[in-house]
Amino acid sequence: MTQTSRPEAVIVAGGFGTRLLPLTERRPKHLLEVGGVPFLEHQIARLAQAGVDHVVLATSYHADLFKPVLGDGSRWGVRLDYVREEEPLGTGGAIRNVADVLGDDPEGAVVILNGDILSGHDLPGQLRDFETPRDGQRVDVSLHLVGVEDARPFGCVPTDASGRVLDFVEKSDNPVTNQINAGCYVFRRDVVDLIPSGRVVSVERETFPGLVAEGRLVVGYVESAYWRDVGTPEALVAASREVVLGLAPTPAVAAAPPARVDEEASVGDATVDGGSLLLAGVAVADGAVVSGSVLMAGARVGAGARVVDSVLGPGAVAGAGAVLEGVALGDDAVVADGVTVPAGERVPCGERR
């Protein structure tokens, strides 16, 4: 089968980012910086590299903040459209909600990305596999699958020798396979229109199992490249660190070990390493140690403070001699001089400890 148009893409970016609180109290998770740029820039750049020329953002929470940051897509050579959900519609509902701005080629490929996955998998390879019929039958949907050591916390997706998806199995103490859904799909354009409109739909629980039950060809594209769900403060810090250190794919950001420090930041006589990210207006005082952490715009670290594997939201302050390890500070949160914040703590926006 020959594809008659260039692939399009939809990024599902409507979630509230609850797992990332307090960092998402004032902004969508998709615009949090990873390795020096808003997270969605990584995804848009990777889509452009794969030949996609039209990207649709399915937004909802703080929808007005996306376009001022990302613009019209011309930076990446793509056309970027924005479609807002008036109420949450689930993954499938969000995809169906943008159908009117997609092209009309029924055989066209539509790449769907979950808006919180950083992946280095071979998307062009998945697209080529998508265009390869099985026994003369076209592929309707392709799912990127990854193998994990312990699949018990995940839903599993078993496939046969040709790659055909056989079932979708919920979490189990005895998984039928170690293959799990990695959050990148390719839909045939006319299959998007099969999703019911105007209501909540889950592709994982409703759309995909329904297509398999109907005998449509749903295949898995199994690959073990870099993959990370950037859905918690800890994962955000780890992803940013891995981008800076060159351990993760970087289509939008050049790696700059041992740290990435904005030219408008000030680090004084401090130690900044471990793949840390310091954005504009950050100030780190003499004698402080910042390692493996993300300091967002305007954050400040006092003299002799220790900030390790932590994230400081815009304007947040770690006072002189403070100790933060594995901590998330919301916007304008303050940790007073000499205070040690318990590991794993999340300090809400504007709060003082």
**Complete DSSP assignment for 329-350:** E-TT-EE-TTPEEPTT-EEPTT
On the question of pLDDT at 37 being above 70, the answer is yes
CATH class held by domain 258-347:
mainly beta
User: Which of these, 306, 311, 303, 302, lies nearest to 329 by C-alpha position?
Assistant: 311
Using CB atoms within 10 Å of the CB of residue 74, give its burial: 0 to 12 exposed, 13 to 18 middle, 19+ buried: exposed
Tokens of 225: 């490249």
* Amino acid symbol at 270: A
CA distance 153 to 100: 36
Tokens of 270: 């401090």
Coil, strand or helix at 260 = strand
* Amino acid symbol at 117: I
Specify the pTM. Answer: 0.92
DSSP character at residue 204:
I
Length, in residues, of the chain: 353
φ/ψ of 221, rounded to 5, equals -110, 105
pLDDT in tens, 141-191: 999 999 888 888 888 899 998 899 998 887 888 888 999 989 899 999 999
If you average pLDDT over residues 220-242, what whole number do you get? 94
On the question of pLDDT at 256 being above 70, the answer is no
Give the pairing type, strands 271-273 and 317-318: unpaired
**Domain boundaries in the chain?**
8-229, 258-347
Provide CATH code, domain 8-229.
3.90.550.10
If you average pLDDT over residues 93-116, what whole number do you get? 95
- Which residues on neighbouring strands pair with residue 261, listed in sequence order? 278
Fold match between 8-229 and 258-347?
no
In this prediction, residue 31 has a pLDDT band, given cuts at 50, 70 and 90, of very high
Place of tokens 């592709």: 203
If you average pLDDT over residues 224-249, what whole number do you get? 92
Listed range (165-169, 313-317, 323-327) with the worst mean pLDDT: 165-169
Write down the H helix ranges in the chain.
39-49, 66-70, 90-97, 123-130, 189-192, 208-213, 233-244
CA distance 24 to 39: 13
Please tell me the number of Cα atoms within 13 Å of 38 on its side-chain side.
18
Coil, strand or helix at 165 = strand
